[in-house]
Structure 1
Amino acid sequence: MMTAVFSNSAVPDDRRRELLYQGEVFVYSASPATTELVGFARELIEDAFGGRDPETAQHDMDVEEFAKLLADLKPRFIHHPECKRLLPMVVAERGCDLGQTYFDVPRLRTSTSDDYLVSGISYAFHPHRDCWYSAPFSQVNWWLPIYPVVPENVMAFHPKYFDRPVRNGSAGYDYAEWNRTSRLSAAAHVRSDTRVQPRPEEPIELEPQVRVVPEAGGLLMFSGAQLHSTVPNTSGRTRFSIDFRTVHLGDVRARRGAPNVDARCTGTTLRDFVRCADLAPMPEDLALDYEAAALAGVS
């Protein structure tokens, strides 16, 4: 299929989600809320690097020291109360219903240049769908660069596979087991990463691909069912970005979303989501229903 990229589209959220579930991509310019979120992230990052330029510090730091710094910085950002205030503002700017839209914690991502650190705390993602990792098919991914990015350090979409199955290892992935045994050990994987993660088990044609290069604070939205990967960073600079995910409660209940062409994982990430309006948790009955469906092999 061919993926269309919608720039600063004014379509309402209900229609936008339909298009996202069909494989389209949306990109928006920096806004007051995304600028505030990125500014907050920069404060934490620059404080952690103590006067070094975060984008070039990898050239002056031992890789173990760099990984240790990220192991402290990333959880501090993820769990900071300010993020719970700012993310609903970003979602509201895009016209989403805050009473129906749920979000998970934002991740602070790094992609270092020239294979400096590509495992563990700064994992360079192989081609994958988030749905291989127990994400619901109604999941929408939101991605924002913190500093300016270039085609050599963003992510790539592989749209020919949106509705085409890829043989993969998702059948061996259990989200509850991952949380119990693997998530907290990321910082220990510096030179290599031995954690078992779903990946393609057949050759993937990486071309043609789509790379979107938003401005710093610009916003990229795409379906969690998109096959995407980390571009091998050859820019000479570490890329810092924020991503988080949303689901619409009505879509979760109605099982509206992108098609499941090849995911066979166990469990669900739905319990990670809280309501934008008041931080109420996702209703437990929905998580239980999704877990039961996964065990039964029903999407």
Structure 2
Amino acid sequence: MSNGPAGHVTRSSPPSGFRPHSETPARHGTARLRTFLYTVDGVPIDAVYDPGAVVYENSRPPSVQPVFVVAHGFTGDVDRPHVRRVVRALRAYGAVVTFSFRGHGASGGRSTVGDREVLDLAAAVAWARELGHARVATVGFSMGGSVVLRHAALHPDDTDAVVSVSAPARWYYRGTAPMRRLHWLVTRPTGRLVGRYGFRTRIHHRDWDPVPLSPVEAVPRIAPTPLLIVHGDRDGYFPVDHPHMLAAAAGDHGELWLEEGMGHAEHAASEELLARIGGWAVGRTVGGAG
């Protein structure tokens, strides 16, 4: 295995100790694929490609379909039912790439809770491009929502549209009970054991050094890429001042959907909301920013 420039990915057999996956041989854009990707820092990432269910005119090749690269929330992975539900909804609008962040599911490494996960997303986006898709929309939830913002800020040419759902605006937030529990899970040895055996999430013991760019600092750097911020007004993790901060930082190039009655992340996203997200992203990647 060799590492290339940022975002480059090699595909390989699973590393020792990981379950094998089958990869269906077929023309790009026409079959479901599952493989391991390698990030630029050498972490194996479990990734799945689902072709889109939409049908285009015969004169338009499958690669014209937009592809959604979905970044799940903390303790999720590609096989979780709530992640697969997002895939099923978005496939009506294009192909979908999902992956397990480092430290989650069958992926290697340990979670850095949103820091080096940007490299995981970059590998998944690069794979989507290699599969022939010219238009990429990243869609992230909670921790994944912060990752898609930072990825778009650090790699502005990699994505054509960005959707961040239930993301924090700032780091180290402990203002709600769920976030205090999450900080215990991440910062305490006992909490990390619970994460490993209770949530199938292996968490790194080191503090951030340096502290990564915060989501609210990242947002102004995303322009002119279209940006959608989605948040529930009943989010138990991050209250509504978080999306308002992100929207204010985005200015005219961002759009905020504050969803009435919605809670947090994938579990709270209705089928109707996921359909609206898919339609919004297709309008930006295919029909222009209009």
TM norm. shorter chain > 0.5: no
Instruction: Tell which has more relative contact order, 1 or 2 (C-alpha 8 A, sep 6+).
Output: 1
Give TM-score, length-normalised by structure 1.
0.26
Give TM-score, length-normalised by structure 2.
0.26
